[in-house]
């Protein structure tokens, strides 16, 4: 049975003072029935991994470079993240695709680097509102998927997050039918890439305005194996009920 995954993306939020949220979360979920991953800003990876040592809470990063070292001022490599204690790294988030012009090819190179460093790659895909309104969603997802996955992908080292850009931080979410359509489509495409058994075992997360109030409904959708949560992952008060909803799903 694959473990579901509740992942939190803190984005550019949080200082040492916010680590108390992780302590509160751990106290509330000492023996979770799902995997829990928090991706704080890079500055907090080391203290967060120290705090969560010997606990079920995994810590991840939000990006890495595709090279393992070199003249890349301001960047952090996958081996460095592993050395800092990270277990995973989010790649190809739409905010990085937009703010830093990351192409799917770049994302694939980063994912290969993450895999080589034994990090789980959480690869993000998602369409813009314009693309959805033009009925291009599945074409966009197919294209991103085709170019963002390196050859090293396995069910164990890769998680796919479907995050429609228009749902991120807006309070808007797709209908359950729309989420189901995209997740079914991703699963089918993965089948073509890595075969049916591995494709079935890859965890597919939904992301975009997941809150305590809508989590149960989203987790009831077939082929949704968890969530990638932004704003509601910043506090234990909001993230804890989302974890519980995932534990109680199906
Ligand atoms: P929100 O949950 O704040 O909409 O953010 C989703 C997201 O981008 C997670 O990576």
Contact of 221 with 183, CB cutoff 8 Å: yes
- Which residues does ligand 1 sit against, CB inside 6 Å? 9, 93, 163, 168-169, 207-210, 228-232
> Is 93 an annotated catalytic residue?
yes
* pTM across the whole model: 0.98
Cα dihedral 26→208→248→240 (10° resolution): 20
pLDDT in tens, 187-237: 999 999 899 999 999 999 999 999 999 999 999 999 999 999 999 999 999
pLDDT in tens, 157-177: 999 999 999 999 999 999 999
Contact of 179 with 162, CB cutoff 8 Å: yes
Q: 132 Cβ partners below 8 Å, 6+ apart?
A: 164, 166
Cα angle 195, 198, 201; round to 5: 140
- Which ligand 1 atom lies nearest to the CA of residue 161? 10
What's the pLDDT band for 238 if we cut at 50, 70, 90?
very high
Give residue 230 CA to ligand 1 midpoint distance, Å. Answer: 3
- Which ligand 1 atom lies nearest to the CA of residue 93? 10
What's the pLDDT band for 20 if we cut at 50, 70, 90?
very high
Element (H, E) at 90: strand 88-91
pLDDT in tens, 76-115: 999 999 999 999 999 999 999 999 999 999 999 999 999 9
List the domains of the chain with CATH numbers. 5-248 (3.20.20.70)
pLDDT in tens, 112-137: 999 999 999 999 999 999 999 999 99
Give residue 61 CA to ligand 1 midpoint distance, Å. Answer: 15
Contact of 145 with 124, CB cutoff 8 Å: no
Give residue 227 CA to ligand 1 midpoint distance, Å. Answer: 9
Instruction: From the candidates 21, 95, 102, 163, give the one annotated as an active-site residue.
Output: 163
């Amino acid at each position: 049975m694959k473990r579901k995954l509740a992942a939190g993306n803190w984005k550019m939020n949080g200082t040492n003072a916010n680590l108390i949220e992780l302590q509160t979360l751990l106290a509330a979920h000492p023996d979770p029935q799902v995997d829990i991953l928090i991706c704080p800003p890079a500055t907090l990876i080391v203290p967060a991994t120290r705090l969560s040592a010997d606990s079920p809470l995994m810590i991840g990063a939000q990006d890495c470079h595709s090279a393992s070292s070199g003249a890349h001022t301001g960047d952090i490599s996958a081996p460095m993240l592993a050395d800092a204690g990270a277990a995973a790294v989010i790649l190809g988030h739409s905010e990085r695709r937009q703010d830093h012009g990351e192409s799917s090819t770049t994302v694939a190179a980063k994912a290969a680097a993450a895999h080589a460093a034994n990090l789980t790659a959480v690869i993000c895909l998602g369409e813009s509102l314009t693309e959805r309104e033009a009925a291009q969603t599945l074409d966009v997802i197919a294209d991103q998927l085709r170019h963002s996955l390196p050859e090293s992908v396995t069910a164990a080292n890769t998680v796919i997050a479907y995050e429609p850009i228009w749902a991120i931080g807006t309070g808007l979410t797709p209908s359950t039918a729309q989420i189901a359509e995209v997740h079914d489509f991703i699963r089918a495409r993965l089948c073509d890439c890595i075969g049916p058994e591995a494709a079935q075992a890859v965890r597919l997360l939904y992301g975009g305005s997941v809150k305590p109030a809508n989590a149960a409904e989203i987790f009831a959708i077939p082929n949704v194996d968890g969530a990638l949560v932004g704003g509601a992952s910043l506090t234990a008060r909001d993230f804890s009920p989302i974890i519980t909803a995932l534990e109680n799903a199906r």
